[in-house]
Amino acid sequence: MSSKKKNIYVYLGKVILVTLLIVLLVRTFFLESFSVSSAQMEMTLLKGDKILINKTAYGIRMPVTLLSIPFTFDKIFGIKSYSAALQAPYKRFFARSVDRDDIVLFNNPLETDKPLDKRSFLLSRCVALPGDSLRVENGLFIINGKPYSGCPNTIEEYSFKALAKKELEDIAKELQIFIPVGTAQGDSVITHLSKYDAFVLNESLSDSLTLVPCKKDTLISHMFLIPFKGKIIDMDENNLIMYKQMILQEQKGKDVRIEKGELLIDGIKQMEYTFEDSYYWMLSDNSIHSTDSRSIGFIPFSSIVGKASLIWYSSDENGTRKERCFSSIK
C-alpha cells in the first residue's frame, strides 16, 4: 500500500472517530431521539412518533454507569451492554426545575436493581411540582385547591346508554368525531374519548345521551404535600404510607424498617424525615393505558432525563405522517 493511500485511510479513520465522538457527546449530554412505542401520551404523541429529548432543559445529568458500550442502552443482541461494577454518584449541572405541563422523559424510579441511567424510560406530563398539595376527590385531581382538568387531548373512559348508541354515532359522524368500539356493561357502553371530543359531543347531545366520565382515580384518600429537597415532614401513620417508597429509595443501603407504625433507620426511630430530593407528579394524557404516578408514585428529580421538545419524524402502517414531522410538542 502506498503512503498516499495509507494517509487517506488514516485521515478517514480520524474523521469517523471524531464524528462518532461528537455524536456520542451530543447524545449523552444535549439531545437524544426517543421513539414513542405506546399509547401512553395519545393524542399528543402517537405510536410511531420519533421525538427529540432536550437533555439540557432541566440541567445536564452526568452519566452514572461508567462501564457501558457506546450507542446502546441496556442490551445488545440480547446481552446486557453495561456493567454496574463502576458507578458514579448522581450529579446534575445547571439544574433547573420542571415546569407544569411539560412532557418529560424519566427513568422508572421503581427499578432499583438497575443503575439510575439504565432504568427503563417513561414519558408523561408533569402536573404537580415540589411543594404542591395534591388530593383526589371523586376521581378528580385537586392541585393546590384547584381541580386539574388535564390536557384537552387526555383520553379517558366515558359511558353512555346502550339504547342511544345509534343516535350518538350519527351525531358523532356529523361532527367528524370517531367513537371507538365500546364495551357493554349492563345497559351502558364504555368507550374511550379525548376530553375535547367528549366536550364537543356533549354540547350537541340531549341530557339523555350525555357522555358520563368513568372516574377510577381513588388511590389517594387525603391531601398530601409533594416533597422538595430539604423539606421536613412528620412521620405519622398516613405519611409513612404515602412516603415509604421514596424514603426506601433515598436510604438505599441502610436498614430501613417500618414497625408498629414507626419509621426506623439503622435501628433509630425517626419522628420526622428530611427529603434529599425534589419530587414531581406525572400523569399521562391517555389515562386508560398508562404507567405514571398513579401506579409508580412520585418521580424524583434525579430520575428526570429531559424535556420532549420536537416530533422530528412520524410514521404508521400507512407510511410517513408528513403533517406531524418537525412539529412542536405541547
pLDDT digits (tens, 9 = 90+) for 44-78: 899 999 999 999 999 999 999 999 998 888 888 88
Q: Which of 40, 53, 139, 98 is nearest to 280 (CA)?
A: 98
Q: Which of 8, 11, 31 is nearest to 307 (CA)?
A: 31
CA distances from 276 to 10, 110, 113, 179, 233 (A): 50, 17, 20, 46, 12
Burial class (CB in 10 A: 0-12, 13-18, 19+), 101: exposed
Q: Does residue 209 register a pLDDT over 70? A: no
Q: Which of 258, 237, 238 is nearest to 247 (CA)?
A: 258
- How confident is the model over 76-100, as a mean pLDDT? 93
Q: Does residue 200 register a pLDDT over 80? A: no
Which CATH architecture is the domain 1-129+281-329 placed in?
Answer: Ribbon (2.10)
pLDDT at residue 218 in the model: 47
Strands (E), 69-112: 75-76, 79-80, 82-87, 92-93, 103-107
Q: Return residue ranges of the chain for CATH 3.30.70.
A: 139-221
- 209-165-159 Cα angle (round to 5): 60
- CATH top class, domain 139-221: alpha beta
> In the block, which residue shows the cell 449530554?
29
Task: Output the nine-digit C-alpha cell for 155.
Answer: 383520553
Q: Return residue ranges of the chain for CATH 2.10.109.10.
A: 1-129+281-329
